[in-house]
Amino acid sequence: MHPPGADTVLVRHGDVNTKSNTVKRYMEGILVENLEALLADRDIPGDVEQRWNRPLIHTTEDAVADATAAASDAFGVVSASPCLTVSTEKEQIVDALAEIARERYTGGAFAVDARRADKNLPYDSDDLAREGGTAIWEAVEDEFEPEVDLDDPDITFGVEIREDSAFLYLEKLSGPGGLPLGAQEPVIALVSGGIDSPVAAYEMMKRGAPIVPAYVDLGAYGGIDHEARAMETVRKLSRYAPNFDLQVYRIPGGETVDLLVSEMEEGRMLSLRRFFYRAAETLAERVDANGIVTGEAVGQKSSQTVRNLGVTSRATRLPIHRPLLTWDKQDIVAKAREIDTYTDSTINAGCNRVAPDRVETNARLEPLLEAEPDDLFERAEEAARNAELVDP
Ligand SMILES: Nc1ncnc2c1ncn2[C@@H]1O[C@H](COP(=O)(O)OP(=O)(O)OP(=O)(O)O)[C@@H](O)[C@H]1O
């Protein structure tokens, strides 16, 4: 809900504020570009202004809700509010609060949350909250029985006073937090048709690292549905990053999977992971990426025991980022639903079908090296060199 006449979105960032002024300026610049791209991608009118630690989106009242929703999808944003802008004169703010109350208050407990960045103003936030609260009360008391509750209000009248304007709002839409996308270097995101890998990729994006998605085509063990699911989740992720290229590298892995299935039993899944990582490393050299992100979590699968992660990780010199390492499955599923990458599929495809009846949970590197094909890494490197770029 926004105040009548609201045509501005106040955008708040969090971790960016912990940076030095130079870095903060730089990151705010990236955030502004990303906000502009989100608005353009969703056909929302608006101009983004970079100022005082709080980017502003100037839009129309009709578009202010959509613009706020778009801002709350931008990495680095902690919250966004659709605002009415008035001058910093106390009387103007108090009058505007009364007017907003007349239009929007429908009963229940209310609070005024006032903050000011400019400590030179002739009034402080407590004065303003008190006078604003009285004005709201008087504006609605004939029709309702208003009540003030600063701890658990039904409606909060927010006031944020900056150098030359005061911003009045009724809601704060939460954003993802983190850092603006592009504030870090890119990483290869290994995306499967599963639930976890898109969430892991999203978490890296949230910390500012653009992703280069890579899908390993498992041949007959993957299948068209498996690939379609992987592509669909990348499409969903691209909604958060319209100014970044999220084309997918499809790495051919079918022949190697066939070989692993015919020649290996228990350690097969681990060698397949080692193939993935080495292929990702080669692709990273090709596209100048700096790490690999996967959806693995400790103990979630046999290939993800602490011991097995240690053995599989030896296949690459690059860091493997596993943002979900300590997450429980239900939290991963909840996040996947929240970011709209959840794929409600029971199709038995991908790695599930490659898995043998008896899986290795306690691997050692030497016996695995003995068992796996000698040319596993050459195969991975060649597959990555042959990877084709496809639209998700
Ligand atoms: N076909 C594939 N292409 C690219 N990466 C893959 C593929 N299969 C698995 N991975 C990567 O390896 C990780 C662990 O594999 P796992 O077998 O647990 O995947 P999954 O259960 O099929 O999918 P997810 O982990 O996404 O739920 C995945 O999170 C993903 O990063």
Residue 347 has pLDDT above 80, yes or no: no
285 C-alpha to ligand 1 centroid (Å): 21
Please check if 184 is assigned to a binding site: no
Q: For ligand 1, atom 18, which residue shows the shortest CA distance? A: 296
Q: How far is CA 31 from CA 28, 60, 184, 199, in A?
A: 5, 21, 13, 21
**What pLDDT was estimated at residue 289?**
97
Q: Is the pLDDT of residue 325 over 90?
A: yes
Architecture of domain 8-174: 2-Layer Sandwich (3.30)
Which of 165, 2, 161, 14 lies closest to 81 in space, CA to CA?
2
In a mutational test of the pocket of ligand 1, which residue from 187, 197, 229 has the highest number of ligand atoms less than 8 Å from its CB?
Answer: 197
Is ipTM over 0.90? yes
Residue range 207-232: mean pLDDT, rounded: 92
3-state SS record for the chain: CCCCCCCEEEEEECHHHHCCHHHHHHHHHHHHHHHHHHHHHCCCCCEEECCCCCCEEECCCCCHHHHHHHHCCCCCEEEEEEEEEECCCHHHHHHHHHHHHHHHCCCCEEEEEEEECCCCCCCCHHHHHHHHHHHHHHHHCCCCCCEECCCCCCEEEEEEECCCCEEEECCCEECCCCCCCCCCCCEEEECCCCCHHHHHHHHHHHCCCCEEEEEEECHHHCCHHHHHHHHHHHHHHHCCCCCCCCCEEEEECHHHHHHHHHHCCCCHHHHHHHHHHHHHHHHHHHHCCCCEECCCCCCCCHHHCHHHHHHHHCCCCCCEECCCCCCCHHHHHHHHHHCCCCCCCCCCCCHHHHCCCCCCCCCCHHHHHHHCCCCHHHHHHHHHHCCEEECC
Residues 355-359 have a mean pLDDT of 78
Distance in Å, CA 276 to ligand 1 centroid: 9
What value does the mean pLDDT of the chain take? 93
CA 203 to centroid of ligand 1, rounded, Å = 16
Atom of ligand 1 nearest to the CA of 301: 18
Best residue for ligand 1 mutational test, from 188, 190, 233 (most atoms within 8 Å of Cβ): 190
For residue 350, the ligand 1 atom closest to its alpha carbon is: 22
CA angle (253, 296, 209) in 5-degree steps: 90
Ligand 1 atom with least separation from CA of 190: 5
- Atom 10 of ligand 1, residue of closest alpha carbon: 192
388: CA distance to ligand 1 center in Å?
A: 19
Mean pLDDT of 98-120: 92
* φ and ψ of 13, to 5 deg: -115, 165
Q: How many Å lie between the centroid of ligand 1 and the Cα of residue 361?
A: 17
Domain ranges within the chain, ordered by starting residue: 8-174, 187-390
- The DSSP bridge partners found for residue 116 are 161
The Å distance, Cα 156 to ligand 1 centre, comes to: 44
Contact 279, 384 (CB under 8 A): yes
* Cβ-contact 162, 151 below 8 angstroms: no
Atom of ligand 1 nearest to the CA of 216: 3
Distance 149 CA to ligand 1 centre (A): 49
CA of 352 to the centre of ligand 1 (A): 10
Q: What is the mean pLDDT of residues 13-35?
A: 93
- Do the domains spanning 8-174 and 187-390 agree at the CATH topology level? no
Among 187, 188, 192, 312, name the best residue to mutate to test ligand 1's pocket (greatest count of ligand atoms within 8 A of Cβ).
Answer: 192
Residue nearest to atom 8 of ligand 1 (CA): 192
Q: At 117, is the pLDDT very low, low, confident or very high (cuts 50, 70, 90)? A: confident
Q: Whose CA is nearest to atom 20 of ligand 1?
A: 194
Query: What residues does ligand 1 touch, defined as CB less than 6 Å away?
Result: 190-192, 194-197, 214-216, 218, 276, 294-296, 301, 350-351
Residue with tokens 């999203």: 202
> What is the whole-number distance in angstroms between the Cα of residue 79 and the centre of ligand 1?
32
pLDDT tens readout for residues 170-213 = 999 999 999 999 999 999 999 997 899 999 999 999 999 999 99
Q: With 70 as the cut, is the pLDDT of residue 346 above it?
A: no
pLDDT at position 344 is 64
Can you tell me the distance from the alpha carbon of 48 to that of 31, in angstroms, rounded to the nearest whole number? 10
- Per-residue pLDDT averaged across 240-267, rounded? 94
Separation of alpha carbons 303 and 312, rounded Å: 8
In this predicted structure, what is the pLDDT of residue 99? 96
Q: Say if CB 245 and CB 349 are below 8 A apart.
A: no
The residue whose C-alpha atom lies closest to atom 22 belonging to ligand 1 is 194
Q: Is 50 annotated as a binding residue?
A: no
CATH domain 187-390 topology? Rossmann fold (3.40.50)
**179 in a labelled binding site:** no
The vertex-275 CA angle with 272 and 276, nearest 5°, equals: 90
User: Residue 305 carries which side chain, given as an amino acid letter?
Assistant: T
